[in-house]
A and B are shown apart, each in its own frame.
Chain A
Amino acid sequence: MSFSEKFADFGDKVIIKHRGLVLVSFLVLFLFSLAGLKRIVLDNSYASMLDKDNPINVQNRYFQEYFGNGDFAFIMVEASNTTDPNVLRQIQSLTTALEDSLPFVKDVKSFSNLEFLSAADDAISVDKLIPDGEIPESDSAIAALRNRIVSKKMYLDKLTNKELTQSGIFISFDTLGDTVYVKKKSENIFSFDIVKSDEVDGKDLSDYRLQKNPLMLIAPSLDYILEKHKNEYCSFSSTGVPVISYNVNSILTKEAAKSFVLTLVIIVGILAFLYRSTREVVAPLCVILSSVLMTFGIIGWLGIVVTTFALIVALLLMVISVSYSIHIINHFRKSLDIDGDRMNAVHYTYLHSGWACMLSAITTMVGFVSFVFVDMVPVRNLGITSAIGVAIVYCLTIFILPVLLSYGKNKENPVSQYKHAFLEVEKFPIFSITHAKPIFITTLLLLVGFGYMVTKIKADTDFINLFGEENAFVRDANKCTQNLGSLYSYEVLIELPEAGMAKTPEVLLAEDRLDSLINTFPITKFTTSVNDLIKDVNQTLHSGDSTYFRIPEDPNLLSQYLLLYEIAGGTELEKCVDLDYKRIRHSVRIRRSTTDLQYDFDKIVSFGQKFFPEGTQISIVGDMSVFLRAVSSLVKGQIISLIFSFIGIFIVLLLVFRSFREAFIIMIPNVIPVFFIGGVMGAMGITLNLQTIVAAPVIMGLAVDDTIHYVVFLTNVFKKTRDYKQASITTFKRVGNGIINTSIILFIGFLTFFFTPVISLHNISLLLVVGIVVALFADLLLTPALFSYFKALGKEN
């Protein structure tokens, strides 16, 4: 008994015989899975990209212990004159509202509360830029304020432009931790009642819900506060990682939901068009929806944390599910049309598509499971989610769909001959076999060309680049970064060998040189460090003479400046140097995130080793170091996962077909779409990111599905005819339309998210569509030629 027959036997004796029990078990499992949906944990934070014990996350937490959270939000104020009293009042009111109501806020810096070091005659003071919060009203007072602002080098291009038409508000945050508890009844975005995880002891949290990634609470409150402060005098634009993360989350969720509904409608339309039968539309629809819901429910039960990017899995599962369902329904209908008996039709379906679908599911799962080798948590979890999803899709298609189709009356007037569909598919193998050589040469040339373009692929995890300018948060981010603000930052942590060294001229002069180096990097927007404070004190104590905007070389003077600054009421010191003067923080705000940052980081570290005292440790911390590691992990991960996919799929084919040559030939038409996808990415500048990484394994899995259906039938027919051309023609007549139908459905299914304003979704749609078309043409034109030319199934008679 062949494996197909064993499978069909199992279908008859187990699944169909106990179909009532199968349906009840399915219902129980379905309800159980649904309960897991509530437990799904979404986490889009940068820190969640890498494992907790990853050295970069460990170093980031170490930095936060001394200097707190590096996350910030930035608000750009635009007005014809930002020192106009009306504008200043708006800034003042907004600053107070942010200080009072924004969750996790640590510090808000704006014109209204900015520290201002000044000296007059023999007096020195650290006051506010606007003393006592009294907004200047007279022309002379406004002019004095303008002079105060432009006199400070520290402010220019950071907090204001020279024309004073733009002004910045910087918001820094407390360390948020991984989770917080939010009071359910207080879920009013203006006043969250939040309990941090380190404040939980002894508190009754029955009225609270767990919030993973607390960063998500910031943006809605910020939006609300900005909305309340809309006015006729100035405009506000906001950006920063908390704003971007929140928008990425909500836009992706909305777009994925839209695409989900659209795909569902299209699938219903296609099924209705193909089968014109309520049962054959409703039954696969049940399978499709149940697969998606059960997958995410089980993910919830397993406690697997997913990013919003994992929503793409729902769309993929729908499309894969349709593809399997069509194979099942095609075989079922074919038998039912000819034989008329439903049970026989189910047997025929199991015989001809049960294990082919299983092979296809296994190969697709191998592709996804290979993501576990990626050093990036979201990609690993995406792979696990997808693999579980494919397994569920397969199980439901094989266990539930035939059961649903088995109920009902037998067909009364079966036709003696099965009618083929609309295409004369047998022309493809004829053309393929008669033009084998030109097809091989063309394929080879295309492979070389696309293979070259693969080398041009770049990886990226910058959320801004994954979304288009059509999204307001991207426009705001670009506007801010092109002017005053910045979107991303990194921190240089300088850890000196001994306490007290951070206030020595030797170290501070080295830091000054490091600062000059960092400012030569094109990506650097501006830097802040303890040197700014010391230089400002030195200049102020020398009657504002700008030649004194430098680090003094007398160690005692340096220490006394720092003491003077503290006694005079300065509060910025602790943000730049730790308590025992051993660690220095050098903050660098940058224009955008790019992989070129790695060169800058290397230069900083090698500079540090050269110019700081021996034993000094220089490390780069913050989200950008996570970003760089994530990017390199994505590239490595894609390569490793593809290698594992190739090997895994090859082993599966080898085990099934027990022929090295056959397995190798089957691999060729399935590897080609992967090259094409890579080539398109390289040629069109589509980056490898959290979504595009799934394109190659998905296409391989789906392409293998069609090839397996073709090869299984071809092998059976060839055994009888021993003639490749004839066997191919017969095979195409039987499975060709099924292959084309599924490809058309996959094409349309993947096309649904082509028109989204989210660039990354648009790109993955494009890649999957290209992959499907190439896979189809490879199956129609290349596979018959390969089998015939290389005599994969043995010699002809």
Chain B
Amino acid sequence: MANRAQDILIPDTGVLRVTFLYVGQGEATLLTIPDGETFIYSLIDINNDKTNGGIDLSKLLKDLLDENDELTFINTHPHNDHLRGIKGIHEEITISEIWHSGHKPGSDHNDAYQEMKDVINDIGTENEFVLFGTNDSNKIREADKETEVEKKLGDIDYVVLSPAEYVQEDVDDEDADERYARIHERCAVIKLSYGGENAKHILITGDSDKKAWKEHITEYHKNKLPSDVLSASHHGSRTFFKTNEDDEEEYEEHINEISPDHLIISSPKQSESPHDHPHEDAIELYAKYVDDDHRYHLGENRECVIVDISSDGNIEIQFDQELVEEYGFDSDDDNGGSENKTSAVFPGTRTSRIDNQPMGKK
């Protein structure tokens, strides 16, 4: 008998469904990939985080996957907000393969990274693959980081645009922030394509920053960049355009080339984000390329965005709040979800309207 996860996340036969899941301050994108008459599943990044009412991915995936289903887990970079909870998921469902960026994080992110290593140990290194930038479709590397292999993901195509180098050993005098930034500079970027001659493209950017794009990606992969849907890098952070808040040299060449119709921002409400994501200055820059009606901030209404692409290349964007209601960490509380608004748009319609009612003895 179908459950809510299956009802919502499994599309009609032949349709690619990419669901940008609301996971609070983090990112998780579920791919329901057509594979002939059936589907395979892949999850790009994970953040099983109890704060901000994000989706409990273990619970969701346990409902979604049937006994014989397996999941390919893809990690853009080994930071907590993209990797937290991987072991818990592996305990609930079968992770058959792990594709990752090949980086080793600093100590702040070591726990989640170790979880991934544990899972890899469990499934065997023959099921471990590493992402490496290329202009060829469907190419990744084996765990030795050298041997390139062609590997399909069901009926879709993908191109790994980044990293071009793996962050491994410590660099002398490098502090945690520098290492953190170095990983963002080398974060995996993946483009997904489906729909035959009229194929549509979805660009997953992880936390890739201005430096990554300016120095490593845009120039080398220019003709691969145009995409219909862009998953905003780093939860809508300004680092996609600027080195920091004071950087006046805003970089826009990449988004100009990507030229997205739809933008997905995976972060909680700005007021709930510890990093104030999405950044106002970033939104202003995004707005130059994607209008109001096509920028979707998952945390605004605590919802997931579902992108469907049919085999003949038709795209449809839908929104879902039921997954958050059903699988959200605080779904049993009344303080989560879209009801958690602080200001009303039309206050006069929801509050008492008073008038002058005389009182007193006389």
Do A and B originate from a single complex? no
Query: Which residues of B are interface residues toward A (Cβ below 8 A)?
Result: none
Query: Which residues of A are interface residues toward B (Cβ below 8 A)?
Result: none
